Amino acid sequence: MGKQAELLAMIGVVPVLASVLTAALGPRVLKHRSHWPTLAALGYALVLSIAMLFSMSEGSSYTAGFEWLNMGRMDIPVRLVADPLTAIMLVTVHAVALLVAIFSVGYMHDDPGYARYFSVFSLFVFCMVMLVMANNFLMLFIFWEGVGLCSYLLIGFWYQKPAAAAAARKAFLVNRIGDFGLLIAVFLIWTQFGTLNFAEVFRQLDYRYLAEGKPFDGAIVVGERMLTHAQIVGWPLLTICICLMLGAMGKSAQFPLHVWLPDAMEGPTPASALIHAATMVTAGVYLVARCTPIFIHAPQAQALLAVVGAVTALVAALIALTQNDLKRIMAYSTVSQLGYMFMALGSAAGNPNLATFAVIAAIFHLFTHAFFKALLFLGCGSVMHAMGGVIDLRRIGGLKKLMPWTHLTFAIGAAGLAGIPPLAGFWSKDEILVSLNQASHGSPYGLLFTLILGIAILTAFLTAFYTGRAYFLAFWGPERIPEEAGHHAHESGRWMLIPLFGLAAGTVLVGILFGTPTHLFEHFLTQSESLPKFQAVHGSGMIVLVSILAAGGGAGLAAIFYQLRPELPSRMAQAAWRFYDYSSHRFYLDEILGLILVRPLKGLAAFIQLFDLHVVDGLVDWVGQVPGYLGQWFRPVQNGLLQFYALASLLGLAVFVIVLLAKF
Amino acid sequence: MQGVYEWMIEASRWVRPEMLLLLAGSGYFLAAVFVSAKSRSWAIASLLIVLLAAIWLPSGDADFATPASFFRHDSFSHFLRGLGLGLGAALILLSWDRIPDRCAAEYFGCLLLIIAGVNLVSAANDLIALFLALELVSIPTYVLLYLLRADDAAQEATLKYFFLSVFSAALLLYGLSFLYGATGSTNLEVLRGAVRQWLEQESTSASSTLPPTLLIAMIMIVAALGFRVTAAPFHFYAPDVYQGAPLLPVTLLSLIPKVAGFAGLYQIVSATLLIPGADAAASPLAASASGLFWIVALVSMFMGNLMGLWQDDLKRLLAYSGIAHAGYMIVGLGTGCSSGMIVEGLAGLFFYLIVYSAMTLGVFAILIALQSRDRTVVNVDDLAGLSKSHPILAVVMACFLFCLMGLPPTAGFLAKLNLFLAAWNTEQRLYRVLALVMAVNAAIGAWYYLRVVGVMFLRDAVKPLSVRVTWPAWIVILLCLFIVFWLFFQPNTTWTWMEAITQRR
Amino acid sequence: MSQAILPNYLIVGAILFGLGAIGFLSRRNLILMFLSAEMMLQGVALNLVGFGGHHKNYQGQAFVIFMLTVAACEAALALALILVLFRNRKTLDVSVWQDLREANQDPVQDESPLLLEPEMTPMHFPRLTPAGLRPDQAASPEEAATRG
Amino acid sequence: MDKCLLLMMIFAPLLAAVVVLLLGSNQLVRIRQVSLAAALLSLLCALHVAWHYQSATGRTAEEPFASDPAFEIRVPWLSYLPSPSGAPSPSIEFHLGVDGLSLWLIVLTALLMVSAVLISWKSIQTNPSGYYALLMLLASGMLGVFCALDIVLFYIFFEFTLLPLFFLIGLWGGPQKRYAARKFFLYTLAGSLVTLVGLVAIVLSLVGQGQPMTFSLPELARQVAIQPLPGELQQWIFLALFAGLAIKVPLFPFHTWLPLAHVEAPTAGSVLLAGVLLKLGTYGFLRLCIPMVPLASVQIGLPLVGVLATVGILYGSFCALAQTDIKKMVAYSSVAHLGFCMLGLFALNAEGMSGALLQMVNHGLSTGLLFLLVGMIYDRYHTRQMTALGGLNQRMPILGLIMMFTCLSSIGLPGLNGFVGEFLCLSGMFARHPIYAVWGTLGIILGAWYLLTFVMKCFHGPLKEPHVAEGAIIPDMDRRELSATLPLVALCLWIGLYPKPFLDRMKPEMEALSQRIKQAQKVQVYR
């Protein structure tokens, strides 16, 4: 226990130290060596988190922590906790972060904000690990916003670029919408359960009580009210879940809050790889997985989760089909894959026994996705670096020979994303399909999940297709190098290649090592105390076959379209011109959101401003003038006539006499 | 029964300072025929005489009142006579070099008579003495009003003041005659005894047999003295007269008749309403009177403040301000009509009277000091840029104006606070409403005072003022300033004194 | 004095007072206004005397004496003042004195002129016969004027 | 020694004001030095008090607050005649003290004073002696309000603050200064006079119930606990207090004086206006309304303030969104932020009220900082129009960084001070009345919107500066400006990262007050 506690604390402390150190010393002292604190810290933290992973068999661990906020019934300590779910997240984050950091050394080497970059980078890692290690909802929320801040800072890293500045603001604002939901959820949890501690909340919602249909013995004391179990499980829980989901949707870029993620690609590519592909965007998935004990009680919310996931996955995949910006394709792909994870998480709707398996599937996909998506992004980064920042597929091509290593690793990553066996993506995607398949049988939402399963398979096909398209367009065909590339047009250096190799190795291996072949991942994750009892679900051959077919079909079609018969795509585009148009304009989602949300609100603001100026302030001024008007009204009395004065006085006197005599 | 001679000795025993003033004043008129002296000499002489009178003023420790005496001396009159002499001295100082030599003797003579008059009002122990003292204030005032300047405006002001004053004197006398008629004596102590006796009978008998004469007397007297203190609806002359008359008499007019009026009102009220030991609620007369004062206070406050908003002429503005302040003070008088309070409305009234005197005198003193031959200060806008040309004077003026608004840290705040406390403490819903009305009025009033402050500080003068302030004016101004702050920071002595004087009777 | 008489005094006093007040309000001649005010004082005097009789003491009468003194004093002042005013405006009408009033108010216009507008034609004053002359020998004023 | 600390803290600036006035406007350097020294002395005293403050234990609903006796000063000032029962002579006292409610506001005020002096260093050239004297007077007044434990003394200081600020705005303000100063003065004065009636009513109604007369706030709170005022009277008193305090806060729709005053005021004036003076209103609610008329606070305070504060949050945010003048935007953001504060206050539970108190400090820090920074921009470019500025980060990276920090603190980013306060306020309100809290929470989205838009327009993107003199290079923040802002920044961070020490010192009072509310409700039920 003690040793684990120290581990946890160190994992938390080390990156923030690196961040502060870099920020303090970076610009003046470290300069081009600013990456060292970060690399050292991440390396150390990775070792620690692997150690943590292996010590997980001893059960969850806690640090002692300290009081952070204690007022009234609100008692929030800073206390770290690690269970298998956390451990997996920690390892993922640290591994990817370390590799991305190494890549960044090469990628960012002559940027004036070098130190700033690494400082924020470390800060991000700190926030991310604290997010997954938090033991209560408030801490989670704090670091949830913390990663959002880092995301904001990194997207707007090149703040001189108006697009970057706008993208950063957009990301923050859209995330704030999600955070609004999360904050409401936190308030509701606090008022309903009287605590924000995960364990406490989950204990009050113990699955057994629900399964046995028994009420709690006694009632939960919430504030001054006494709530019975039935009261809690009703609409409050559903509201909590929907609010939590809103938060997750914001952070994990689910439809319709996904609009910020593609824009976020304005930031440095390694940052996109880490934050907007591998780690931060999965925080939503983590949140929902963490809150599984709550979600179980709200099957409607879970179904909604799956629907949102399905819509997101499909829409993002459709948009990705026609994008020309390599990074943007990857961004939409990330959105799509996150949709996948949401589908998986939602698949336990009305079928509590499936919950653990669903979580495992989602988290496993998160795990594998981190590797191959980071790999793909870094590959993009490598290309971008070589092409002088140009990443438009219409302007580059045939880089196979120029950048062989990049090509190879990109191919592995693409295959992983497309779900080609035996790479990581295949195994995790397969599990999700299995989970969905299971959900479509024997749950109240069977029909819905059948549909979602169909969407998932369609999405798998589309994924393979657009991945293949990107891959073929960039690396095959005649060599096209834009003039911006200049002398950069060569294979990247060691700093950038080593991470590519590392991630490629991960993409190849993690599926086989931990996935269905060994069930290591499953076994490990089921040790989590908060997850319901695990019930193994066995995949069917049918699903595997369909999955392989979809992946292969998509990839093959891409090969045909963009390698063998390059004239086909334009003909297709003409045939389906309207669809092509919609897709390439991202279904006009940004515009629609702008039209129904942003512009009315801005109009409202302008109106309120006028209202304030003329109505509210006018009213105040008017009231201020009332005494003046009254005075004006009395002024004729002072007409200067002596006898009138005497008369008025006498009249006043008469009134007094009459009034007072009448009283007697 | 004493002989006439003893009676006169008895009557004059307590009023030696006033006799000195009267003799001196009359002497001036006489001497002016034979002696031609500089205005300054008359001023010095007057100041010395006032100082001598102040030294002669018997101490206020013991109450020498005897039922039969024409005058009396107790802590109340001691205080008010002190106030009267102080105001007189201040007025003399303000007049220092500003009176043309030709009419200096008459001016200062009248001033001394007025001071004597105001003192006698508070020393009077008889209705006749009270009436005479009030007339002693009025009659020289008529002279003063057109002594200094004989233009149309001054004449019109005098005309209005004179005629309405005579009118009000008639009302007063009518009221006093009924008071005498109801009780059978003009002596205030006897009168008090009679009312007390009547009240005792009243409490034993079931039916209410208040003689309506007493009530009519009350109303008439309130109306007449309301004229002196510029309480609405008897205030009409004030704006016109203030505007028309020269500054010095206006200063006098805004202070002395108010002091005299409130002293007179207190004399009457304390004799007929404030019966020690009698329960306020049991006296229907007290209830009627407090109702009467309620209306008068309400109307005065609103009239003064609402009309004040529109004024450009400084003197006219101050007239309305005076009307409003009279309203505030009458709140104190009204609350004073019910007894058994911790915070006495009457003590509040006299505390307010001191503060009012200090701050109004201060404002007028500054206005007087700013007058010069080539640049008169008539309108509010004439003060523009004062903060540039006379920064200290502007700050002092602002202090007085904030005091008039009732803002801390000036005594104006405590004065209003005491009235608030008194008004709320009456346990009568009506007076609580009045407290609220006071608050509203203080806010309205703040508008026009602030306007003056704003003009002084925030605007630049078209033609800057270049007058040098003379030392007598400085003395008065700084003394007023001192009082305005001292009464805020050290109110306790004064307040205890005020409580004492109003508890004595 | 018996009880029954007092009300009579009071009533007459009140009537005098009221008449005076009405006169004060309705007369526009300054002198008549002042006389009306004096009439109010007479009402009061009657009251005081009546009450004095009722209460069988002299205080009421003493009061009246003092009051009369004051009234005389005021009358002197009034006449002086009115003289000055008349010199200035050549009329005794009180309503010409309304320059001091609230700013931006129209002056109150007379609908009917003063009933007793003083004649501004040259007046004929009687002359005493100089010493040493018989009355019939005295020249008429006109002749005296022409003679210089 | 300790007894004199509060006196020294309040009167050091007063003394400095006198000295500065005597120095006259020619000795600019001396004037600044004296003012700075006085402000620093005040700050030292405040810090000493904060450091040695002993948080009271065992506060109860009957005695929700009382000064730490180590710092209490009590001198009779205006005594009234003793009551018939022979109790000691009741008097208005010069009663200073410090407790959990006022401690942090005192520190905040003293801290902001230093910043205000420093920020005026160069920008005030006309009549500096008057300016600094007024600034110092204002400091005395503000510190006095928070230290006063006598109901009348409280009001005296409360009113007194109007005077210096009136002149500060009116004399050193922008183009519309006269209108702004007058409106500010009259509007707030009108309200607070009604409040005075309320205060008088509290004191005297208790006397009417047979309690000994007192003006001491702790004493009054105890009397009220023993014998609550009748329900209807409580409501009237609440409304009277509300009139002045709501204008001061300012709650929607009484806020219109604020943007005007802020925009026209000189930088230091805006800083103190936003940082401290608005807190007088919220502090008044906390110190007067809740303990004295708890039942009315629940019955009408909660719905009334709940609605107005919620509307204010959204309304203020929307107004801020529509602004192009930076200062006006910040001014409207104050309306929104104080909406949070009031929402927390009228949650009437320990969480909400402590959040409100913390939010007062937070708002003082972050909005104070915002005004300081806007002032610096204005000093450099003589414009506050967002449209005229852009990409300033490139010219002034440090200013940009601190501005970013401040905006983030202002939009309630966790880890910075704003979050803790807003979170506690909203959670408190959520427990009391979820609907208000939910609507209020929407404000955090809008807050981020306008502030980040401002940062984006002015600090990000390509460099755009209004015309500056030929060859002049706009400098980044210098040492003086840094020393005006960095302490505030540090405090923002501290509160955000570790709020416990701040909350602990107000905890006994807060819990006692919430207890008081519960008690009042209970009594109501039994009646």
CB < 8 Å to A638, chain C = 101-102, 105
3-state SS class at A286:
helix
**D185:B446 CB<8 A:** yes
d(CA A407, CA A476): 10
Count of Cβ atoms closer than 10 Å to residue B310 Cβ: 19
Q: Looking at mean pLDDT, say which of A478-482, B205-209, C102-106, D107-111 comes out highest.
A: D107-111
Q: Enumerate residues 6+ apart whose C-beta is below 8 A from D524.
A: D231, D295
Q: Given CB atoms, is B29 within the 8 Å cutoff of chain C?
A: no
Q: Is the pLDDT of residue C148 over 50?
A: no
CB < 8 Å to C26, chain A = 643
What average pLDDT does chain B have? 87
Q: Is the pLDDT of residue A540 over 80?
A: no
3-state SS class at A638:
coil
Exposed / middle / buried, residue D162 (Cβ in 10 Å: 0-12, 13-18, 19+)? buried
3-state SS class at D64:
coil
Count of Cβ atoms closer than 10 Å to residue D170 Cβ: 23
Q: Is the pLDDT of residue A217 over 50?
A: no
Q: Is the pLDDT of residue A19 over 70?
A: yes
CA distance D413 to chain A (A): 7
pLDDT number for residue A223:
41
Higher pLDDT residue, B306 or A5? Answer: B306
Q: Is the pLDDT of residue A238 over 80?
A: yes
Tokens for D310?
A: 């919620």
**C101:A639 CB<8 A:** yes
Of A639, A643, A647, the CB nearest to C105: A639
| Residues 136-165 of chain B whose Cβ lies under 8 A from any Cβ of chain C | 139, 142-143, 146, 150, 152-153, 155-160, 162-163
Which of D230, D329, B295 is CA-nearest to residue A653? B295
Q: Residue A381: which H helix or E strand, with range?
A: helix A355-386
Q: Enumerate residues 6+ apart whose C-beta is below 8 A from B472.
A: B93, B94, B96, B97
Which of A290, A22, A264 is CA-nearest to residue A167? A264
**Dihedral Cα D130, D135, D139, D140, nearest 10 deg:** 10
Q: Enumerate residues 6+ apart whose C-beta is below 8 A from A265.
A: A167, A272, A276, A325, A327, A328, A331
CB < 8 Å to C94, chain A = 641-643
pLDDT number for residue A61:
67
CB B279 within 8 A of CB B269: no
**D189:B446 CB<8 A:** yes
CA distance D266 to chain A (A): 22
pLDDT number for residue D86:
57
Query: How many residues belong to chain A?
Result: 664
Count of Cβ atoms closer than 10 Å to residue A408 Cβ: 16
Which whole-number Å values give the CA distances from A301 to A123, A314, A513, D234, in the listed order?
Answer: 33, 20, 33, 46
Q: Given CB atoms, is A660 within the 8 Å cutoff of chain C?
A: no
Whether B and A touch, i.e. at least 3 CB pairs below 8 A, reads as yes
CA distance A292 to chain D (A): 24
CB D264 within 8 A of CB D180: yes
Helices (H) then strands (E): counts for chain C: 4, 0
Which whole-number Å values give the CA distances from D518 to D59, D62, D227, in the listed order?
Answer: 15, 12, 15
d(CA A279, CA A265): 15
Tokens for D82?
A: 């003793």
Positions of E strands within D49-99: 73-79, 91-96
Vertex B165 angle, CA B164 and B166, to 5°: 90
pLDDT number for residue B134:
95
Q: Residue A69: which H helix or E strand, with range?
A: strand A66-71
Of B344, B439, B503, the CB nearest to D194: B439
Of A638, A649, A657, the CB nearest to B219: A657
Give the least confident one: A332-341, A579-588, B456-465, C3-12: A579-588
**Dihedral Cα D409, D410, D413, D417, nearest 10 deg:** 50
Kindly list the partner chains of chain C, i.e. chains with 3 or more CB atom pairs below 8 Å: A, B
CB < 8 Å to C107, chain A = 640
Q: Is the pLDDT of residue A214 over 50?
A: no
Query: What are the helix (H) ranges across B245-311?
Result: 247-272, 284-308
Using omega within 30 degrees of 0 as the cis cutoff, is the peptide bond preceding A112 cis?
A: no
Question: Which amino acid, one-letter code, is at D211?
Answer: Q
Helix axis angle for A84-107 and A283-290, nearest 10°, is 170
pLDDT number for residue A73:
82
Q: Given CB atoms, is D97 within the 8 Å cutoff of chain A?
A: no
Of A632, A642, A648, the CB nearest to B310: A632
Task: Give the single-character DSSP code of D436.
Answer: H
Q: Given CB atoms, is C37 within the 8 Å cutoff of chain B?
A: yes
Count of Cβ atoms closer than 10 Å to residue B378 Cβ: 16
d(CA D282, CA D291): 13
Beta bridge partners of A442: none
Give the least confident one: B61-70, D102-111, D372-381: B61-70
CB < 8 Å to A642, chain B = 159-160, 163-164
d(CA D216, CA D222): 10
Q: Are strands A81-82 and A61-62 parallel, antiparallel or unpaired?
A: antiparallel
Q: Could you tell me the residue ranges of all domains in chain D?
A: 2-466+475-526
Task: Give the single-character DSSP code of D209.
Answer: T
d(CA B65, CA B73): 6
pLDDT number for residue D327:
92
CB B410 within 8 A of CB B403: yes
Domains and CATH numbers, chain C: 3-93 (1.10.287.3510)
CB < 8 Å to A643, chain C = 24-26, 28, 33, 94-95
Q: How far from chain centre, in Å, is Cα A201?
A: 23
Tokens for A317?
A: 């995949």
Which of B246, B234, B344 is CA-nearest to residue B296? B234
CB < 8 Å to B447, chain A = 627
Size of interface B-C (CB pairs under 8 A): 127
| Residues 234-293 of chain D whose Cβ lies under 8 A from any Cβ of chain B | 240
Higher pLDDT residue, D436 or C125? Answer: D436
pLDDT number for residue B209:
57
Exposed / middle / buried, residue D37 (Cβ in 10 Å: 0-12, 13-18, 19+)? middle
CB A343 within 8 A of CB A309: yes
Of C63, C84, C97, the CB nearest to B128: C63
**D442:A180 CB<8 A:** yes
Higher pLDDT residue, C95 or C22? Answer: C22
CB < 8 Å to D236, chain B = none
Task: Give the mean model confidence (pLDDT) for residues A92-96.
Answer: 89
d(CA D210, CA A238): 54
Tell me the pLDDT tens digit for each residue of D280-336. Answer: 999 999 999 999 999 999 989 999 999 999 999 999 999 999 999 999 999 999 999
What average pLDDT does chain D have? 89
Q: Looking at mean pLDDT, say which of A314-323, B453-462, C12-21 comes out highest.
A: C12-21
CB < 8 Å to A257, chain D = none
Q: What ipTM goes with this model?
A: 0.89
d(CA B449, CA B405): 7
Tell me the pLDDT tens digit for each residue of D472-497. Answer: 778 888 889 999 999 999 999 999 99
Tell me the pLDDT tens digit for each residue of A201-211. Answer: 887 776 545 44
pLDDT number for residue A469:
86
Beta bridge partners of D216: D150
Count of Cβ atoms closer than 10 Å to residue B467 Cβ: 16
Tokens for D405?
A: 């920090």
CB < 8 Å to B155, chain C = 84-85, 88, 97
Best mutation target, D256, D313, D417, D419, to test chain A (most A CBs within 10 A): D256
Q: Could you tell me the residue ranges of all domains in chain B?
A: 278-505
Q: How far from chain centre, in Å, is Cα A305?
A: 14
Q: Given CB atoms, is D328 within the 8 Å cutoff of chain B?
A: no
Question: Which amino acid, one-letter code, is at D314?
Answer: L
Best mutation target, B341, B457, B490, to test chain D (most D CBs within 10 A): B457
Q: Given CB atoms, is C64 within the 8 Å cutoff of chain B?
A: no
d(CA B281, CA B339): 9
Which whole-number Å values give the CA distances from D151 to D131, D200, D214, D240, in the listed order?
Answer: 30, 9, 9, 15
CB B93 within 8 A of CB B47: yes
Best mutation target, C100, C102, C104, to test chain B (most B CBs within 10 A): C100
Task: Give the mean model confidence (pLDDT) for residues D426-444.
Answer: 90
CB < 8 Å to A651, chain C = none
CB < 8 Å to B308, chain A = 631
Count of Cβ atoms closer than 10 Å to residue D310 Cβ: 26
d(CA A203, CA B149): 96
Q: How far from chain centre, in Å, is Cα D9?
A: 18
Question: Positive or negative CA dihedral for D514, D515, D516, D520?
Answer: positive
Q: Is the pLDDT of residue D49 over 80?
A: yes
pLDDT number for residue B159:
92
Q: Is the pLDDT of residue C106 over 90?
A: no
pLDDT number for residue C67:
93
Tell me the pLDDT tens digit for each residue of A606-629. Answer: 999 999 988 988 999 898 889 889
Q: Is the pLDDT of residue A198 over 50?
A: yes
Task: Give the mean model confidence (pLDDT) for residues D436-445.
Answer: 91
Tokens for D383?
A: 């414009």
**B458:D171 CB<8 A:** yes
d(CA A533, CA C83): 117
Tell me the pLDDT tens digit for each residue of A454-497. Answer: 898 899 988 988 888 888 888 887 878 777 777 767 777 788 88
Task: Give the single-character DSSP code of D93.
Answer: E
Q: What is the pLDDT along chain B (505 residues), one digit of tens a residue?
A: 456 677 667 667 778 889 999 999 999 999 988 888 888 999 999 999 999 999 888 765 555 556 567 888 888 888 999 999 999 999 999 998 888 888 899 999 999 999 999 999 988 888 999 999 999 999 999 999 888 888 888 999 999 999 999 999 999 999 999 999 888 888 888 888 888 777 777 666 655 556 778 888 889 999 999 999 999 889 999 999 999 999 999 999 999 999 999 999 998 888 887 765 555 445 677 778 888 899 999 999 999 999 999 899 999 999 999 999 999 999 998 887 765 455 678 889 999 999 999 999 999 999 999 988 878 888 998 898 888 888 899 999 999 999 999 998 899 999 999 998 888 887 778 888 898 899 999 999 999 999 999 999 888 887 778 888 889 999 999 999 999 999 999 998 899 888 888 875 5
Give the least confident one: A294-303, B483-492, C106-115, D274-283: C106-115
pLDDT number for residue A190:
87
Looking at chain A, the whole-number percentage of residues with pLDDT higher than 70 is 92
CB < 8 Å to C54, chain B = 181, 184
CA distance C1 to chain A (A): 29
Best mutation target, A66, A68, A69, to test chain D (most D CBs within 10 A): A69
Size of interface A-C (CB pairs under 8 A): 43
CB D195 within 8 A of CB D244: yes
